[in-house]
Chains A and B, each alone.
Chain A
Amino acid sequence: MMEKMIFGRYVPADSIVHRLDPRSKLIFVFAFICIVFLANNFVTYAILTVFTFFLIFVSKIPLRFFINGLKPVLWLILFTLVLHLFFTRQGHLLFHFGFIKIYEEGVKQGIFISLRFMNLIFVTSLLTLTTSPISLTDGLETLLNPLKKIKFPVHELALMMSISLRFIPTLMDETDKIMKAQMARGVDFSSGPLKDRIKAIVPLLIPLFVSSFKRAEELATAMEARGYRGGEGRTKYRLLLWHLPDTTSLIVLIFITAILTILRS
């Protein structure tokens, strides 16, 4: 079951991207998402796309992982592409057949939007593919630390994230087990009309919820027994180190932003 999941999947490899500090990667991706919207003509989109592919190349992760990440949103991309093709009525008329009219501007906008999607998804997948969930949580916690001043529960959020991540495979296993147990008792999960299939989910969901409550209680007891008292006065085992490549990556990003701002029309 885990194999199919692309979201949050970490692919270990030894590359410069893998070794970057999670904080710099998080800042980088966040900033990149913003600057994607700066691009609005051929040159700027070309620069962005080349840059994205350069990052993928540096990360040493096979392209198919990124393509897989694109699959779930493929219909969305196609949908916006088609929408732009048929409904943007600007520029030269390229094609005319009955009521279908395709304009130059429509083709342009359609391609731009698809490229924007692709860039966004590739770069965000790059973050999750090259950063282990635990360092991602650590990075997020340190980055959000200033929010403590406005009473935002940063430590609690980070702890919740890391516990959720740790329990994903455990709960997957359990779902699988309950599903098989219910199938052995005659529940049919995979055929019949939609209404029946939704009904069949109930004997899967209820035991899963009940056991999650039980798990939560046992985990809380175990945590308390090991001296967990909340975020106050805790030290951290994991150490985040900011190196030269981290600074460099952000400088490169500033550079790209500058070029995009100059070249955009």
Chain B
Amino acid sequence: MAEPIITINNIFFKYEGQENYALEDISLQVMEGEWLAIVGHNGSGKSTLAKLLNGLHFPEKGDVIVDGISLSEETVWDVRKRIGMVFQNPDNQFVGTTVQDDVAFGLENNGIPRELMVERVHDALEKVNMSGFLNQEPHHLSGGQKQRVAIAGIIALRPNVIILDEATSMLDPKGRLEVVNTIRELKDKTGLTVISITHDLEEAAKADRIIIMNGGKVYGEGSPSEIFEMDEELVKLGLDIPFSIKMSKSLKEVGYPLSTYYLTEEELVDALWTLHLNK
């Protein structure tokens, strides 16, 4: 079994000047090489949790341990080298004037020598299929392309963990698919650990494990199929269920003998074919 790369022990966090805890007594582990999805409605504390992981916020109580390092004011820069974050708005995280400057930004911050930097910038852009855009300016790129550059900027730093903080929520379906596929390929190639914070349950359905947040607490945890069994409960939490599950549910209601709810469209299509053949 893989080792936990991030361990969170009983953390409490509240924003300055607010009564309620944004996060209350959260404990969880993220395994190495895992794709973890954190879902929840707006204000459930998902993004706050992400910011606690790389020291953009510090917990009031409890501790965060990343790759054996306990997160504190002194170790925060070491932790940030290990965790890369891609944020929601593609425009507001593009620091550089051109694509290659933006990818190099993180490397410059870490004092990487120039020759190595050039190599890594090209390599990272190659990995996200953006190598033809070296000197493009951000306002000439689409949202999905900008997010891919943001990902390149992160992977050039060679982190162990990549956090997608609603990284696809401002993209159109095509851009969203591009970004998710890019990440998946990278994960398969390099054994990256991915934490994806998302509203999009289709995206979450492809994760290894899902954590549901509600009101600053962990509400539930499990594999996608376990989570989507919860069905009505999810809807009550302000979440939605993926299309294929809704479809299998409706089909079951009208009498098709489907054995389970299917997480992806392919599985559902396969099941329907099998049913059709057996008829």
Binding site for B on A (CB under 8 A): 133-134, 162-163, 165-166, 169-170, 173, 214-215, 218-219, 221-229, 233-239
Contact = CB atoms under 8 A, between A and B. Distances in A.
Given A134-B97, A134-B101, 6 more contacts: A169-B138, A170-B91, A214-B92, A235-B111, A237-B101, A237-B104
Contacts of A134: 97-98, 101
B113 interface: yes
A133 B87 CA distance: 26
Nearest to A238: B101
Contact of A133 (B85, B97, B118, B139): B97
Interface in B92-116: 92-98, 100-101, 104-114
B196 interface: no
B144 interface: no
A169 B108 contact: no
A225 B54 contact: yes
Instruction: Determine the main DSSP class of A at the interface with B.
Output: helix
B67 interface: no
Nearest to A217: B92
B89 A234 contact: no
Given A166-B96, A170-B139, A235 B80 contact: no
Give the most central of A133, A162, A166, A238: most B CB within 10 Å.
A166
Contact of B95 (A133, A170, A223): A223
Contacts of A238: 101
A215 B93 CA distance: 9
A215 B157 CA distance: 24
B197 to A, nearest CB: 14
B173 to A, nearest CB: 22
B209 to A, nearest CB: 23
B108 A234 contact: yes
A238 B77 CA distance: 24
Given A166-B138, A169-B137, A173-B139, A227 B92 contact: no
Given A218-B92, A229-B77, A237 B153 contact: no
